[in-house]
Amino acid sequence: MQIAIIDYGSGNLRSAAKAFERAGRDGGLVADVLVTSDPDAVRAAERIVLPGVGAFGDCRAGLNAIPGMVEALEEAVRKDAKPFFGICVGMQLMAERGLEHGVHQGLGWLEGDVVKIEPSDPLLKIPHMGWNELEVVNGHPLLEDMPATHAYFVHSYAFAVSDPAVLAARVDYGGPVTAMVAKDNLVGTQFHPEKSQALGLALIGNFLKWRP
């Protein structure tokens, strides 16, 4: 099984690749993890991962800067329905718009905008950084048999989904904050599974076995 982790100049590529390799080994799967900026490699892969670190607009610009990459994603993920995993800003890019430092168009795969977190408690700092406990909202195969409940976050903006059905999990940070979204062959986590230890490896392992 080939997993393409997209390299567009934004993301914890090395740690993400190592986490996917380890989850494959732990699950007894032969997983060939390829970090790539080649659109043809994305089309050829069986599963696609889009990481992301930084500002929404910068990440979208980085994706646009690779000739043919957005088209390859649309073909592989939307047309061919290959399993897709967006991490942090990679998850946010599935939204219609990001409202960070202006208005930026997302991929438009899921309805909603990425908006600034505004905790009700003024003592809660932004960015939301550190461990927080997941609350499962709508069950999903990736969340089955979790060995832990806490995940690691680093973000100032969150995905305000328009359709409650796509909200798989949330956390409380002075109010509800989207932690995971899922629809059809699409999944995305605001938290970093590659930094979330046991929970993260189990989640990635479930993604590698998932048949949407």
Q: Centre a 10 Å sphere on the Cβ of residue 159 and count the other Cβ atoms it contains.
A: 28
**DSSP 3-state percent helix, strand, coil across the chain (nearest 5):** 30, 30, 40
3-state SS, one letter per residue, for 97-149: EECCCCCEECCCCCCEEEEECCCCCCCCCCCEEEEEECEECCCCHHHCCCCCC
Q: Per the residue annotation, which of 59, 104, 128, 194 is the catalytic one?
A: 194
- Catalytic residue check, 155: no
Q: Per the residue annotation, which of 128, 140, 155, 192 is the catalytic one?
A: 192
- Catalytic residue check, 88: yes
Phi then psi dihedrals of residue 104, to 5 deg: -125, 140
| Residue type for position 8 | Y
Cβ-contact 32, 3 below 8 angstroms: yes
Phi then psi dihedrals of residue 15, to 5 deg: -70, -35
Q: Per the residue annotation, which of 88, 100, 140, 155 is the catalytic one?
A: 88
Residues with active-site annotation: 88, 192, 194
